[in-house]
Amino acid sequence: MRFFRKLAKIFMIFFVIGILVYLGIFLYVKLSPKVVINTANSVFLYDKDGEVFFQGNEEKEWVSLDDISQYVIDATIYTEDKNFYKHHGFDYLRILKAFYVNITSGSTKQGASTITQQYAKNLFLSFDKTWKRKWDEMWYTIKIEATYSKDEILEGYLNTINYGHGMYGIENASKYYFGKSASELDLAEATMLTGIPKSPSNYSPLIDFEAAKERQLLILNLLVENGVITEREMNDAYQEELKILGEEDRDELTTVMYYHDAVMDELETIDSIPKSYSDTSGLKIYTNLDWDLQKKVEENIKESIPDESEVQTSVVLMDPNTGGVLALAGGRDYNESSFNRATDSMRQVGSTMKPYLYYAALENGFTSSSSFTSEETTFVFNDQDDYTPQNYNQTYGNKPISMGTAIAYSENIYAVKTHLFLGGDALINVARRVGITAKLENVPSLPLGTNEINILEMAAGYSAFANLGYKVKPHFIERVEDSNGKVLYEAKNTKEAVLNPSITFILNNLLTATYDADYIDYNYPTAIGLASKLTHKYALKSGTTETDNWDIGFNNNVVCAVWVGYDDNQTLKTSEYKYAQDIWYKSIEYYERNVAEGDGWYEMPDNVSAVLVEPISGRLATDSDKKKKMMYFIKGTEPINTDQEVFDEKVEESYPS
């Protein structure tokens, strides 16, 4: 008994200390300058033409609590925080209850955040789950409660929460969904809107009407349980036929939210930007987004991938001269999956790895005509290990082929021979120079793309080819201003020379072989189906594994990278390998639609010569050759048949089979 008395005394002491500490903090905050709360979500994102494509809280749409339907107020309170007018920011009994339920159930079935806590969370530019962020949110909760009335807090909360589809605030949401002001909402409309903020991507009636109705019914039941409405009113509201508009001034794009998320992620990395809205009075973020291009990319995805398919995609278009990302899709539909595959996923890149290898080869004495024999080969290394790669469909020429032919057919044998001859460090070195940071294993299969790399990183890597040798950093934001127009950040768009321009010029021309009919022989170029569809000249490389399909191509104006695959790494069907190519050519051709034919390609450097060769073998063309093609060489390295054959024979001796 004495033990329990002692325990009770200790508990009371800590309880009193806790109350005193809280009161002390509360008093300190009360005497501190007010935290500005009406700027929560006051952020505007502009495309490259200065048009707003996303807005959070817009000042003119802020409405007072008196101009909000009482149904919205009641539904929000009894759904989110029924003790809102009784607590001081934290509902301790609810916290204990939620803790007990979650512990006993072994899951997080219940949350305990109050309206004030949720409002405090919305003051921040991102939603990190670090301990520092949680502490900051607690601190802001106390500051808000100490300096604002309950009505002011509720008014601010309703004017800033996310109702989906880029609609922040009850007035914006009311006009968007129902074409009326928040004061005019009836019970059915109010409870439908109140259900959305818990998960806008799941409970928007424009996305999943049945789920939205289930959520509405739950809220109506809560109002009945708390004596706010009668069961008859609940049934009438639930049965009411709602006319949902979902209209806005600009075409709504489901994929543009992937771009939005990438912008907000980048914003958090900029040191000059305050971390909370209350410190900024709102932000104006000017991005590189090409709205029309983004719209076209979304259309291309929908046209190319059947609705019933579960295959996913990611698409990146970038200005190779600045690194500015012009369009980005991290999936087929943000409303169905907000996971951003363009910024957050790593996938096997297949043969899109080969251009890094062939640049290394050209840098180390190879030429456009350098040849290896295309034949089934077993490579022996480390005196005991062997590796037997295969060409697609096990198609071999059983004769020497040029580098141009190897690129056209995406020959694996040629690539592995080149890789082993140069040594694995050569490929890795080039990849690192152009900005590839992913883990790269020095193994014989490295040039076949067995390692996983992010698509945004691959697009940036190819940008170094597109701009003739300069590494650029991919970025979304060009400038950030506060609400008064003060510039808080401006992108520098710096370029670093990492590749030889003349060698890059040669490689870029070799990469046009993928859709060049001059290379039709014992096989077909991998993208020969595009030959009649392309109105401009592009360097292009595809990449194919069992689970991933890529197309990355470029000229001096733009880089376009497309990936297609399943999130769970299912094997792609044969028919699904065309999706990436269709999205790629439609997107890059749209971007180049107003560019004159020939513009965007490269002028031949002074130290490069053009020589007429027989393209398959790479040897000098003769009068008897049916096919002749102009290929490019650093002056002094043009093919002289005898010398070329001696070089090739010497290299071939390195590969016992």
CA nearest neighbour of 262 among 232, 287, 296: 287
pLDDT given at position 274: 75
CATH number for the region 56-257 comes to 1.10.3810.10
pLDDT band at 646; cut points 50, 70, 90? very low
Helix, coil or strand: residue 284: strand
Question: Can you give the three-state secondary structure of 514-536, one letter per residue?
Answer: HHCHHHCCCCCCCCHHHCCCCCC
Helices (H), 159-255: 170-178, 187-194, 200-203, 209-225, 231-239
- The answer to whether residue 542 is catalytic is no
Mean pLDDT of the chain: 87
- pLDDT band for position 86 (50/70/90)? confident
* Lowest-confidence pick of 183-187, 299-303, 389-393, 547-551: 389-393
> Can you say how many angstroms the Cα of residue 90 is from the centroid of all Cα atoms in its chain?
36
Q: Please tell me the least confidently modeled range out of 33-47, 191-205, 257-271.
A: 33-47
Catalytic residue among 61, 80, 189, 457: 80
Exposure of 324 in the CB half-sphere (CA atoms within 13 A): 19
Q: What residue segments make up the domains of the chain, in order of their start?
A: 1-31, 56-257, 296-333+347-480+496-594+604-652
Residue 579's pLDDT is what?
A: 98
* Residue the block writes with tokens 């806790």: 18
pLDDT higher than 90, residue 121? no
Helix (H) or strand (E) holding 409: helix 403-409
How many Cβ atoms from other residues are within 10 Å of residue 500's Cβ? 18
Residue 168 has pLDDT above 60, yes or no: yes
Above 80 in pLDDT, residue 559? yes
pTM: 0.78
Choosing from 351, 410, 502, 587, the catalytic residue is 351
Supply angle C-alpha 63, 119, 19, rounded to 5: 130
Q: Is the pLDDT score of 85 beyond 80?
A: yes
Give the 3-state secondary structure of residue 210.
helix
Please say if 657 is a catalytic residue: no
Cβ 587 vs Cβ 317: under 8 Å? yes
Distance, CA of 197 to CA of 220 (rounded, Å): 16
Is the pLDDT confidence value at 41 over 80?
no
Q: What span, in angstroms and rounded, lies between the C-alpha atoms of 130 and 392?
A: 47
Q: Which fold has domain 296-333+347-480+496-594+604-652?
A: Beta-lactamase (3.40.710)
Minimum mean pLDDT among 223-232, 289-298, 480-489, 515-524: which range? 480-489
What does the pLDDT read at residue 97?
61
